Amino acid sequence: MRELTEQEKVRREKVEAVRAICNPYPDRFEITHELKDVRNVEDGVDHIKVAGRIVLMRKMGKMSFLTIRDVSGFIQVSIKIDMVGEENYQFFKDNFDLGDFIGVEGEMFTTHTGEKTIRASRFVFLGKALKPLPEKFHGLTDAEMCYRNRYVDLIMNESTRKRFLLKYEFIKQIRRYLEDKNYIEVETPVLINKPSGALAKPFRSHHNALDIDVYLRIAPETYLKRAVIGGFNKVFEFARCFRNEGMDATHLQDFTMLEAYCSYYNYRDNMKFIEDTLKTVIQKVYGTLLIPIGEKEIDFSKKWEVVSFRDLIQKYVNIDINVYNTQEKLLEVIKEKGIDLDSEVAIEQLGYGKLVDLLYKKVARPYMIEPVFLIEHPIELSPLARANDENPTITDRFQLVINGAEIVNAYSELVDPVEQMKRLEEQARLNANGDPEAMVMDMDYIEAMEYGMPPISGWGMGIDRVIQVLTDTPNIKDNVLFPLMRPLEDQNQ
């Protein structure tokens, strides 16, 4: 059992002192204004009721000032002995600490320093913080502690509060945009029989009631397509996805993915749709399309460039993937040029498409700063995408890359069940030969396709990733409220 600090012992004693007078943990407090709105109230308005956590406090002889805050706003409060009475004022001085919750009723006024303030006529104790907040001038700056104790990070750091408010405003605006375009939000299962929808290593679990092994979804794709088969022409989902892969500054094993599908669209239609969507949403969230990202400034208002895999790799490393068009040939030239690809699996075990993808990520992607649509992916890299009519070795697919990060993945969907069967058979062969990210056979999905599918184009966007790019945060964990962390030793005791 952890030994309490002296401050923690004192705070626990204060809880008992409060309990002798009132309930230190009451069940409710009626408010008239949110903290984000109350500063707009005109001076002289009385009977304002607000509540929040005390984050600053100056206790004095006959008058005290405190600032209360929540994630979206704050207000200063003055408590005077002649307004609340001597006994109540002494109760406040004796028992309230930084971090405690307080409810206040009073009149709005502006101090001589220009600070909007509520002059309290009544206050209520709403909850004791048994742990003291970090030193107020420094806040919480250790990155790992911010991830482990996000609640303290939110209390202490304005930049964190702003970042998460921006994230949820972004989600709200993009959801509203899709709904205005007649997309319907649906839900698909998290526990599935077959890992499908993307090239990734799945998490495995066991379903006790059914006594079967199941997987956590790596993408909602094949189920959203089932919805299209059933007649939902435009669908989307904000889906938690799980991929049992490596962790780095831009990847997590569990993350939020937005996927959307539109019947009768092709990938070119969706390229235009994505550009319009993001320009609209960024304008609404930021009020501008000129966004500073680190030392750079990206102008999202420009027409976004379109480049092919072949042109991009030729530009940066002078390898023509139309010439080195097999796994053996490409592997040989990669080794000849001494290019070290980042792969958890031996590159000799990877298929041609995966080699092309790793090569592009190594030599080209870090230099792609302005928004760029990357097209003409090898068919081996896109088992669920439609083959190009003129060149069946590539697919009708694009990725949106911004500041060296893949933001959107999209394509014209493969709707031919016979061709899909062949593609999944090849994926299953790669999986059996040691590629853990290759897909497995999914006959249930094939059967659904056999009932008929219209032309479809779909896309997926990692929400945490796009916010990381737009806010220029060094680690994707900075944009996840409560990222999974390895337990500390004392937490296992």
224-278 tens-digit pLDDT? 999 999 999 999 999 999 999 888 898 899 999 999 999 999 999 999 999 999 9
Contact 480, 168 (CB under 8 A): no
Q: Report the pLDDT value the prediction gives residue 136, as an integer from 0 to 100.
A: 57
Alpha-carbon distance of 213 to 233, in angstroms, equals 32
Alpha-carbon distance of 35 to 286, in angstroms, equals 22
pLDDT tens digits, residue range 109-163? 999 999 999 999 999 999 999 999 987 555 677 889 999 999 999 999 999 999 9
pLDDT tens digits, residue range 195-217? 877 778 899 999 999 999 999 99
- Asked whether residue 344 carries a pLDDT value surpassing 80, the answer given is no
Alpha-carbon distance of 91 to 485, in angstroms, equals 41
- The CB-side HSE value for 156 (13 A sphere, CA atoms) comes to 19
As a whole-number percent, the residues of the chain with pLDDT over 90 amount to 78
Alpha-carbon distance of 337 to 25, in angstroms, equals 68
Other C-beta atoms closer than 10 Å to the C-beta of 76 total 16
Contact 266, 454 (CB under 8 A): no
Q: Report the pLDDT value the prediction gives residue 490, as an integer from 0 to 100.
A: 63
Burial degree of 166 (CB within 10 A; 0-12, 13-18, 19+): middle
Entry pTM: 0.90
pLDDT tens digits, residue range 31-85? 999 999 999 999 999 999 999 999 999 999 999 999 999 999 999 999 999 999 9
> Residue 131's closest CA among 295, 279, 15?
15
Cα distance between the two ends of the chain: 8
**pLDDT band at residue 492 using 50, 70 and 90 as cut-offs:** low
289: Cβ–Cβ under 8 A, 6 or more apart, which residues?
279, 282, 283, 299, 300, 301
pLDDT tens digits, residue range 405-429? 999 999 999 999 999 999 888 888 8
Beta bridge partners, 305, equal 372
360: Cβ–Cβ under 8 A, 6 or more apart, which residues?
309, 312, 313, 374
Q: What domains can you pick out in the chain, each with its CATH number?
A: 6-133 (2.40.50.140), 156-304+370-483 (3.30.930.10)
pLDDT tens digits, residue range 174-193? 999 999 999 999 999 999 99
- Asked whether residue 434 carries a pLDDT value surpassing 70, the answer given is yes
